[in-house]
Amino acid sequence: MAFSALSSTAGDDGSSAPLDTSGATTLDVDIHGMAFTPNRIDVPSGTRLILTITNSDDQQHDLKLGSEYTGRIDPGDTVVHDFGVFTESTQGWCTIAGHKAMGMVFDVVVGSASPSTSPSAAPRPVVAADGPDDGLVYRDPALPPAPDAPERTVHEHTWHVTEGERQVAPGVTQPVWTFDGKMPGPVLRGRVGDLFRITIVNDGTMEHSIDFHAGEVNPDTNMAQIAPGESLTYEFEARRYGIWMYHCATMPMSLHIANGMFGAVVIDPPDLTPVDAEYVLLSHEVFLGEDGADPERVAAGLYDLTAFNGYPNQYQHRPIPARVGDTVRVWLFNVGPDNPLSFHVVGEIFDTVFKEGQYQIRNATDTGSQALGLLAAQGGFVEMTFDEPGTYTFVNHQMTDAEKGQRGQFVVTP
């Protein structure tokens, strides 16, 4: 295995302490697009290996190979690292969360042997989506109205990106990545013409970013990577109505979303019908892991549970109240990162359905809708009126996902 390692970094000023490469095998490696190029070298046993690694990507990377580690390599920087002598095949990888699962591995093949490249296939224990304990952080689904202002409203917020821990399922506490300490992130609401100015402060340990689907802006500037300790202000005018996703846009996006970095922006359609109550439900898969969502399982789509608003079945255990005669609007957004949502309320028919910018039906009496289907990154709302008291269960009618945690209840009283 590797030993006797030295390292130097070549920065913008070109200064570095050159390594003694005598007797060593040297190789230039380029990083771009979640890949090392080349990503393999065949060497005889006893080879001392020195790599010159240039990060041509737009975010930080690194390489851990055997017992040696380059440290984080900033975009545009070059690191020269002595990985020591190899007597057996070894696989290295980028240690930044999710990058290995995206394919950032580097193989040193000694002789005819091949390094093991198979990820662990051991399944995690299934966790029942029942019986939350005192660790549940309940998410109130009620949606406050948009500010009632004669002129456009400026929505100005500062959100800190944090990497902490919270309970994500009964008895399961694991690391999560959050906007403003919330999972999902805050729900914003406004009207067409409103200005949103959101400053993101990265208090985490890795790069993050943000993408507001409601914004029609230059991605290069507004969705740039935010290094730890840095900040970025994202400003956009809401020009179109609907419910829009926002999420961390740092690769792998699936992992950053799975770890909690998502939320919604609601922009009211004109002439929105008054109702008795409004709620918002964000549907998503839940991936378990000791260090947060397991990157390899996320990449493979092997989710453990499902949820609305961050926790499986939370609205089974704390139902949403309503009264007979109430007309309720439920805003829905399917975060994914992969699965579809088919939202259905047992015992009810929707008389108004709005999906992705247009009404499917509105104030219908002779017809109706039994489900609102949404693919990942799609949203809308449904409206219904409760005519009788009772318990009305809402589900993702992709039933295996309902049984994994995407269900809840409206309890209607006289």
> Which residues carry a binding-site annotation?
208, 213, 247-248, 256, 261, 397
Token digits for 45?
């046993």
Nearest to 65 by CA among 299, 227, 47, 74: 47
Cα torsion 251, 305, 278, 185 to 10°: value is: -30
Token digits for 320?
């949403």
Q: What is the DSSP letter of 217?
A: S
How many Å is the Cα radius of gyration of the chain?
A: 25
Question: Strands, E, within 44-139: which ranges?
Answer: 47-55, 64-65, 68-69, 78-86, 90-93, 105-110
Token digits for 231?
């900040």
Token digits for 10?
């070549």
Q: How is the beta sheet containing 320-323 ordered, strand by strand?
A: 320-323, 407-413, 390-396, 341-345, 372-374
For 252, the 3-state DSSP assignment is coil
Contacts of 29 (CB under 8 A, 6+ apart): 36, 37, 38, 51, 52, 53, 54, 63, 106
Amino acid at 325: G
- Distance between CA atoms of residues 202 and 256, nearest Å: 14
Q: What is the DSSP letter of 144?
A: P
Q: Count Cβ neighbours within 10 Å for each residue of 84-101 and write b for 16 or more, e otherwise.
A: bbbeebbbbbbebbbbbb
For 190-251, where are the alpha helices, taking DSSP H only? Answer: 219-222
Asked if residues 204 and 228 have their Cβ atoms less than 8 Å apart, the reply is: yes
**Phi, psi (deg, nearest 5) at residue 398:** -75, 90
- Distance between CA atoms of residues 72 and 227, nearest Å: 12
Annotated binding site for Cu cation: 208, 213, 247-248, 256, 261, 397
